[in-house]
């Protein structure tokens, strides 16, 4: 395996819990909350693919740590860290659409399926959403049920709610300054 392809992992603390980042010298392969139930299986898949994962902090982990810092400080929801996406063509297409959902807004699984020209594929969209290994950067937390309810999020529904509130404040900064409680601006769909 080429030296620049070696996967390394490090810990990133956030206000809503620690995250594990895995990257090579060029791109981020995984960013997950440390308590996500699927994390051991995700790490095992990456370990098998790469022949192992070491401890370390290549440049993409430094970059995502800085971007997460700006996100949680409420100054930016922009993520430019290069990504390595491991999924089928359909799954990667769903992830690309997720990245187009503006911060502070939400979409349903059905909305995404229709945007893909496959209105019958809402369940497949949900599976692709759940297979996301790069939390926040690929904003699967912006996907809600057709009835507007929060639905499954590997990081926990409480985190999903908090992320939506953080992004609403980023998208509508004056609402918090005007004395509105956090999260009172309803995320658009």
Nearest alpha-carbon partner for 155 in 127, 186, 133, 123: 133
CA gap 91, 160 in Å, rounded: 21
| Three-state DSSP class for residue 154 | coil
Structure tokens at 13: 């603390």
Burial of 145 (0-12, 13-18, 19+ CB in 10 A): middle
Is there a contact between 141 and 164 (Cβ–Cβ < 8 Å)? yes
**Which one of 19, 64, 140, 164 is the catalytic residue?**
140
Helix axes 122-130, 89-100, angle to 10 degrees: 80
Does 165 participate in catalysis according to the annotation? no
Q: Helix H segments across 31-156? A: 39-50, 59-72, 89-100, 109-115, 122-130
Active site residues: 140
């Amino acid at each position: 395996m080429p030296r620049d392809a070696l996967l390394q992992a490090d810990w990133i603390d956030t206000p809503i819990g620690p995250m594990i980042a895995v990257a090579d010298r060029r791109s981020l392969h995984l960013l997950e909350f440390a308590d996500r139930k699927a994390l051991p299986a995700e790490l095992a898949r990456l370990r098998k693919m790469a022949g192992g994962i070491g401890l370390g902090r290549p440049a993409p982990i430094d970059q995502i740590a800085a971007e997460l810092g700006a996100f949680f400080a409420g100054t930016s929801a922009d993520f430019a860290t290069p990504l390595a996406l491991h999924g089928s063509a359909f799954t990667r297409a769903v992830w690309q659409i997720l990245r187009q959902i503006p911060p502070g807004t939400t979409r349903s699984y059905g909305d995404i399926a229709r945007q893909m020209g496959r209105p019958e594929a809402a369940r497949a969209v949900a599976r692709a959403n759940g297979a996301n290994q790069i939390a926040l950067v690929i904003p699967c937390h912006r996907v809600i049920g057709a009835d507007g309810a929060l639905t499954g999020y590997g990081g926990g529904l409480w985190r999903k709610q908090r992320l939506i509130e953080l992004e609403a404040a980023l998208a509508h900064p004056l609402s918090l300054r005007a004395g509105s409680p956090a999260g009172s601006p309803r995320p658009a769909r």
